[in-house]
Structure 1
Amino acid sequence: MNGHFNYRGNNRNVFDESFSRNSENADESFTITGSRATLDRSDASLSKHATGYQTFSESNVTLDRHSHDASRDLSGDCLDRRSAEFDLAFTESEATLEDGEGGGIEGDDVEEELEDSESEVSLAFTNSSLAYTVSEVELVSGWLEGKTPLAIASGHSRQTTEVEAPPPSSVSQKLNYAEDENKERGNWSGRLDFVLSMLGYAVGLGNIWRFPYLCYRNGGGAFLFPYLLMLCVVGIPLFYLEVSLGQFCSKGAAKCWDFAPLFKGVGVAMIACSALISIYYNVIIAWSQFYFFASFTDKLPWAECDNSDWNTKDCSLNWPIVSCEDGVKMPNGTCYQDNEFHGVWNTSMFEKITGQKRVSPSEEYWTYNVLSLSSGLFKPGSPRWHLTLSLFLAWIVTFLCLLKGIKTTGKVVYFTALFPYVVLTILFFRGVTLGDGVGEGISFYIKPRFENLGNAKVWRDAANQIFYSLGPCWGGIITLSSYNRFHNNALRDTLIVGLGNSLTSLFGGFVIFSYLGHMAAKLNVDVEGVVKSGPGLAFIVYPEAVTQLPAPPFWALAFFFMLILLGLDSQFATVETVLTGILDQWPQHRDRKTLIILAICVILFLLGLPLVTEGGAYLVNLMDTYAGSWSLMVIGLTETLAISYVYGCDRFFQDMALMYGTQPYLWWKICWMVLCPLLIVFILIFAIVDYSPATYGDYTYTAGGELLGWLMVLASALWIPICALYKLIKEDEGKTFLQKLRLQTMPNKYWGPSLVKHRKLVDYVQDFVLDPEGDKKKLSYVNQAFAYSTTTLSDRLSMHTREKSVTTMSYNGDMLFTSKVSLETAV
């Protein structure tokens, strides 16, 4: 009996092969036990053809599949590896093909009734090119996986049934979230899990306390022009690049550089940068937690000047803001006129014009109670016990949310990412209805001052805010997107997150400046007199503003709860970046994930203890200035050059088209190859030329403080040249330096999609390795287990034979048990 199989599909080869039971048709190089293949339990012959057919004829063989992937690929000269699909035929047998305990159907379940057979065959399939010639075969559904077309043929006729594959453009619209696509790493449970996690990662504390101040300082509404320009040509393109990179290879920041191993240090630098940022970011969350718990009172502790524990004689409820531009400001804040001098050089007389310095109660509460701020960076003092407990609580929350992986954080973000918008909206409507000063505050925020656009510092601030807020080059984007399904629509998600992040910043500015305007009107000063940046805005100005409202504890609780949620979202992704980098590098320790998470949280908590001392605020500001700025620029520049010029934009575009079904727009290539690198270089050059020592309030960091800051930069950025040098030294194939460099800038065999069924689709790369882990798995391709059968296979094969053989398609000897007959392949 002859069977005829046709295979049709988009961009695939066509299989049109006949077979017979004559064992002489078997290729000599694929014979079993000598030159012929015979099953001892029956008189059947095992006929093996070079196209991958395997026939069990007239035998009583049970092929039992237990929790193994049935769509694994063959690797041999007989199959085109770029279109390597196998056809498994059971003819004239009493074989039962059973599904064990791990089978799963991916995609839309389709049931196909095959007629003209001696027994009913019900097949549930998802676009797999597995053809069965049917006689007395019972196929229990639930076995097939794949995304390529399926051809089914009847064993009693030459009729061929063809099922066309869906067009690539539609594949991302029909993703199945019922089960994980990647069993080993896991996937997001739903598309919203990823989008909200990314939105929570991008929208953080900087959107509330940093962007409004930068907007005001750099020209109000005019600042939106450089900001939006940087968003379109740097922020969103880099975001899209990293999402596509992580999604394509399903690996975190440390392991996604197999396309050019020389640049593995970029991933290590990302992880180091994320670790540094997570240390001080949780300290800011600890500050917010302390204020949140302190607000559970009838009277806010920073509302009056009547607390002897932290209030001084300088405290004033109606603190006037007096300019000292024409005078001399003394260390205690007193302002003197300097326009009257009498006597000789060593004698002068000053006229005291403002009296003692006046300080708001909220500022004294922050400085003397919360921080107990010392006089400088190198006078740290002792840890503040209340901040230490708050920091410990922040790390406990982080540990618990990361414990169950993305399945937990993907659900937590439904609350932590969305509820801040509820609070922000409530604060907005309350702010715009306060009355006096609201209009002036908002006008001060958005009124354009176009003359500022000629200042290069404005453009640098716009780019810095994009890196700080949107989060490229931290490693978090690559990490979160590595848990996507292969055909997820990344462009859609990129635009949602990028635009959502920027709109949140703009909206937050309206909220903040409505309160600042009202506060300025109450104090009878200009809005400029009450504006501060960073922690000063969140922990001094806004707490003071809520004291002017009815029911101030409620508004304080709402504000600080929002800050906690905004911080936790970003913290989850940042620590997940460190965790994923470790597990991807050493996957054998995945079963110890809980201990690794605990170790990470404990170590980072201990490293954060110096930041909750009396001098800790200076250290937090130093880390924010150096670790969260300079390193990101270096990483971003190296990343874009590596992908655009070393790996090549054209090749990366093909990878993206494989995932999304359509070619990306030319705009992305222009951004990645030209605009992004040039703008980052411009920002770096200007930052170096315009460099000045960092400051915190009136405190200017000493040379020792600057050295400490640059050591933080080197702690992450230095991994790039270190890893590159290590790779070149360890390269043993190249003889000369140029040969080694060439080999280390080429994709290795591990580069590509994580799953074999997706690697099969890479038909634009010659000699693309379909199963790079094959050596480790003993090339266990299809029939990984002939369990409970009378036939067993031996894995006593040389590596050469395993790589060449398409006869047995299985070498996993430990799964072949309860056998009476040993079937061995000749070496």
Structure 2
Amino acid sequence: MGQYTQEGAITSWQKLCPLAEGIGYAGQLILFYSCMCYIVILAWALLYLCFSFSSKLPWANCDNVWNTENCVEISGNNKTYNWTEQSNSTSPAVEFWERRVLAISAGIEEVGSVRWEILLCLVAVWVACYFCVWKGVKSTGKVVYFTATFPYVMLLVLLIRGLTLPGALQGVTYYLYPEPSKLLDPQVWMEAVSQVFFSFSVGVGTLTVLGSYNPYNNNCYKDCVWLCVLNSCTSMVAGFAVFSMLGFMAHEQNVPIEMVAESGPGLAFIAYPQAVAMMPFPQLWAVCFFVMIILLGLDTQFVMMEVVMTSVTDLVPSVLRRSGGRRELCLLLYCLLCFSAGVLMVTEGGMYVFQIFDYYACNGTCLLFLAVFLSLAMGWVFGTERLYDIVEDMTGVRPSPLFRMCWKYLTPIVSLVSFICSLVEYQPLTFNRWYVYPGWVYVLGWMMSFSSILLIPGVALFRLMTGKDGLRWRHGVEPLTYNRTYVCPGWVHVLGWMMAFLSILMAPVVALFLLGIGKGNLKQTQSQLQEMTSQEEVNATFPYVMLLVLLIRGLTLPGVLQGVTYYLYPEPSKLLEPQMAFVGSMVKYEPLTYNRMYMSPGWMMAFLSILMAPVVALFLLGTRKENPKQVSVLAIRKDMCRDRINHLNKVWQQM
């Protein structure tokens, strides 16, 4: 998409499928959230790197002022300590992370003071990112030559060192040997899908922007294959480096490897530093590890910033591409805005805020929703044949037929199923499995999630109402007015269109009708209509015959009088219950249960169906080419509108 259009993540949609432009905006909003929170990880890593030059690693012992009486040193000389039975004991690495680095408060309500050491690291990282990105891809490309290759050297060093440690075989065996029962757990597949989406930067426009800098005839087909191979191989090699260290830790503590395995920040700032502290020359390996983490993180941060800046610059090229440092000034404002939000995450309660961004604003659910509509827009609206022709024109190679199946069927179905599963399997956010966030945090988190999701139907609605190629100009429908003088405000038009699309939601037959007229089949032949009419007569009368047979048979059965009496004789007290009415059923709503014991998570599925149908209808409505028959049937003549309005005015005055 990027190489063909030579545009950013937003403007490329304007050339390919304008109604799906909201996908580009949603992707940039997710990257904006990611820039706020991801760089905080680099600030933590930079602080750890500074501590790594100490004569004695501060997370290696319990002799520090921040350690508690529950702290127990982990070393090869302490194998007699029974870790499996001491639930209250903590390691020096955990206490250094929670009490020294984060100084974490009791909850999100207690924001506390700013951790100045982390704040200074955050400033240093932002300054480095700004000066590496401020000249665009020319400056970023030169820096990436070092930041993208040197981590592989560090990874190779850590891999060789890890494989030579005692217990490494135990960790590698745990890494490679699967648990077949886990394959039946949907959460495992959800984590795998999320990892693939994040690892390949799918859906947020990153690859689109990077591809826009390629020459038109670049072999992007080969680039995609190499990207997948290198990315997967890197992940596999990194797994060996990590699990060999975890096996060493399990061997030293004489515990199962499950007890030392961590994920997320716990792996980078607790488990791995703890393993490094148990090795000879720990400072050397700590420096290698955190240098690798910082360089890998800078790569990711560079790309996210460059993607957002390129997309914004392509939106207003006449403003930001002028000489005078306008792009640099815009980048500075963007960095200051993200830095301001990051300050909140380096307070004593900042870890709670960081988790909210990571769990809701940048989660895999949002990416899966974007992937569904991205594949639908390009595979069905833009068309796979056109995609094949474009790739062949750019590269001289026609893609495999497998891609047609992926673009049209496999990717939308897998993304949609994963999206639904992520909602059904949703678990409220907690911290360290013991702290439960207050209710307003969950509301805020879902608002952040829907802020990107709702951009897709929102931009499509805006396009339909205001675009020159939108629905109302194409069908001859003008904005609503009263007596040709009063023009309704914009929110009235939005409300009206929402009511219109509600009818589409309630009547799926309309969607089928739109599919038919999109191909020019508005008027069917007389023979087809007659055949449909005769079939409908049979379908409408036969159930009455069956009902009559069942009624006669039922009235001849013993005990029928008891059933008829129960059916006809009312219970007056029931008429006073609000549950008997529809409105009352909403007021007196009770969650769905099975046998009054099992409570099912159904609201997510209900809202999903409400959200999905109008958006799909928007795609069907807004992306069809203009059809003369459709216009002739749906266009409203102005003189008929005037007559109707005058008639309604007279009736209103009489009333």
Summarize the alignment of residues 361-440 of structure 1 with structure 2, pairs less than 5 Å apart.
361-435=92-166, 437-440=167-170
Query: Aligned residue for 2:583?
Result: none
Query: Aligned residue for 2:321?
Result: 590
Q: Does 1:252 align with 2:2?
A: no
Q: Does 1:511 align with 2:237?
A: no
CA contact (8 A) 1:363 1:540 kept: yes
Query: Aligned residue for 1:724?
Result: 460
Residue 695 of structure 1: how far off its partner (Å) = 2.2
Residue 679 of structure 1: how far off its partner (Å) = 0.5
User: Equivalents in 2 of 1:742, 1:365: separation in Å?
Assistant: 56
User: Equivalents in 2 of 1:713, 1:302: separation in Å?
Assistant: 36
Query: Aligned residue for 2:412?
Result: 677
CA contact (8 A) 2:83 2:253 kept: no
User: Equivalents in 2 of 1:650, 1:271: separation in Å?
Assistant: 28
Residue 322 of structure 1: how far off its partner (Å) = 4.7
Query: Aligned residue for 1:307?
Result: 64
- Length, aligned pairs only: 472
Q: Does 1:274 align with 2:31?
A: yes
* Structure 2 gap segments, 5+ residues each: 478-496, 498-513, 519-617, 627-655
User: Equivalents in 1 of 2:453, 2:350: separation in Å?
Assistant: 24
Residue 530 of structure 1: how far off its partner (Å) = 0.8
Query: Aligned residue for 1:745?
Result: 623
Which of 192, 197, 217 aligns to 1:487? It is 217
Instruction: Name the SS of the counterpart of 1:311 in structure 2.
Output: coil
Q: Deviation string for 1:741-785 (max 9, x for gaps)?
A: 88952699xxxxxxxxxxxxxxxxxxxxxxxxxxxxxxxxxxxxx
CA contact (8 A) 2:384 2:404 kept: yes
Residue 496 of structure 1: how far off its partner (Å) = 1.3
Which of 263, 277, 280 aligns to 1:533? It is 263
Residue 705 of structure 1: how far off its partner (Å) = 2.0
Q: Does 1:619 align with 2:376?
A: no
Instruction: Name the SS of the counterpart of 2:183 in structure 1.
Output: helix
Residue 449 of structure 1: how far off its partner (Å) = 1.8
Aligned-partner residue type, residue 97 of structure 2: W
Which of 550, 563, 570 aligns to 2:293? It is 563
Instruction: Name the SS of the counterpart of 2:408 in structure 1.
Output: helix
Aligned-partner residue type, residue 178 of structure 2: P
Which of 283, 286, 292 aligns to 1:553? It is 283
Q: Deviation string for 1:263-307 (max 9, x for gaps)?
A: 111100111010101111100111111101111121111111111
Identity %: 39
Query: Aligned residue for 1:642?
Result: 377
User: Equivalents in 2 of 1:643, 1:552: separation in Å?
Assistant: 51
Summarize the alignment of residues 28-47 of structure 1 with structure 2, pairs less than 5 Å apart.
none
User: Equivalents in 1 of 2:343, 2:136: separation in Å?
Assistant: 26
Query: Aligned residue for 1:84?
Result: none
Q: Does 1:708 align with 2:444?
A: yes
Residue 731 of structure 1: how far off its partner (Å) = 2.8
User: Equivalents in 2 of 1:283, 1:395: separation in Å?
Assistant: 10
Aligned-partner residue type, residue 12 of structure 2: C
User: Equivalents in 2 of 1:447, 1:696: separation in Å?
Assistant: 30
User: Equivalents in 2 of 1:744, 1:249: separation in Å?
Assistant: 21
Q: Deviation string for 1:411-446 (max 9, x for gaps)?
A: 2111111111100110111111112x1111111111
User: Equivalents in 2 of 1:281, 1:598: separation in Å?
Assistant: 18
Instruction: Name the SS of the counterpart of 2:11 in structure 1.
Output: coil
Residue 247 of structure 1: how far off its partner (Å) = 0.5
Structure 1 range deviating more: 297-306 or 561-570: 297-306
Residue 379 of structure 1: how far off its partner (Å) = 2.1
Q: Deviation string for 1:2-30 (max 9, x for gaps)?
A: xxxxxxxxxxxxxxxxxxxxxxxxxxxxx
User: Equivalents in 2 of 1:403, 1:743: separation in Å?
Assistant: 41
Residue 505 of structure 1: how far off its partner (Å) = 1.1
User: Equivalents in 1 of 2:82, 2:443: separation in Å?
Assistant: 35
Structure 1 range deviating more: 453-462 or 411-420: 453-462
CA contact (8 A) 2:83 2:255 kept: no
Higher strand share: 1
Q: Deviation string for 1:244-278 (max 9, x for gaps)?
A: x0110011111011222111111001110101011
Query: Aligned residue for 2:399?
Result: 664
Residue 532 of structure 1: how far off its partner (Å) = 1.0
Summarize the alignment of residues 89-104 of structure 1 with structure 2, pairs less than 5 Å apart.
none
Query: Aligned residue for 2:604?
Result: none
Residue 323 of structure 1: how far off its partner (Å) = 4.8
Instruction: Name the SS of the counterpart of 2:407 in structure 1.
Output: helix
Q: Deviation string for 1:450-480 (max 9, x for gaps)?
A: 2221222222221111112111012211111
Q: Deviation string for 1:557-595 (max 9, x for gaps)?
A: 100000001101111111111101110110012121111
Summarize the alignment of residues 140-151 of structure 1 with structure 2, pairs less than 5 Å apart.
none
Residue 651 of structure 1: how far off its partner (Å) = 1.4
CA contact (8 A) 1:279 1:608 kept: yes
CA contact (8 A) 1:274 1:475 kept: no
CA contact (8 A) 1:643 1:649 kept: yes
Query: Aligned residue for 1:445?
Result: 175
User: Equivalents in 1 of 2:32, 2:625: separation in Å?
Assistant: 28
Aligned-partner residue type, residue 457 of structure 1: Q
Instruction: Name the SS of the counterpart of 1:713 in structure 2.
Output: helix
User: Equivalents in 2 of 1:503, 1:695: separation in Å?
Assistant: 33
Summarize the alignment of residues 789-800 of structure 1 with structure 2, pairs less than 5 Å apart.
none
Structure 1 range deviating more: 446-455 or 417-426: 446-455
User: Equivalents in 1 of 2:109, 2:229: separation in Å?
Assistant: 42
Residue 712 of structure 1: how far off its partner (Å) = 1.5
CA contact (8 A) 1:728 1:741 kept: no
User: Equivalents in 2 of 1:316, 1:514: separation in Å?
Assistant: 23
Aligned-partner residue type, residue 347 of structure 2: T
User: Equivalents in 2 of 1:685, 1:376: separation in Å?
Assistant: 31
User: Equivalents in 1 of 2:70, 2:397: separation in Å?
Assistant: 66
User: Equivalents in 2 of 1:684, 1:409: separation in Å?
Assistant: 34
Query: Aligned residue for 2:72?
Result: 316
Residue 378 of structure 1: how far off its partner (Å) = 2.7
Instruction: Name the SS of the counterpart of 1:256 in structure 2.
Output: helix
| TM-score, normalised via structure 2 length | 0.70
Query: Aligned residue for 2:302?
Result: 572
Query: Aligned residue for 1:690?
Result: 425
Q: Deviation string for 1:611-663 (max 9, x for gaps)?
A: 11111112222222222222111111110000111111111221222111232
Instruction: Name the SS of the counterpart of 1:307 in structure 2.
Output: coil
**1:716/1:741 CA distance change after superposition, 3 Å:** closer
Aligned-partner residue type, residue 478 of structure 1: T
Point out the structure with max Rg over C-alpha: 1
| TM-score, normalised via structure 1 length | 0.55
Instruction: Name the SS of the counterpart of 1:612 in structure 2.
Output: coil
User: Equivalents in 1 of 2:186, 2:327: separation in Å?
Assistant: 47
CA contact (8 A) 2:151 2:296 kept: yes
Q: Deviation string for 1:370-412 (max 9, x for gaps)?
A: 0011122232212211111111111111110111211111121
CA contact (8 A) 1:647 1:746 kept: no
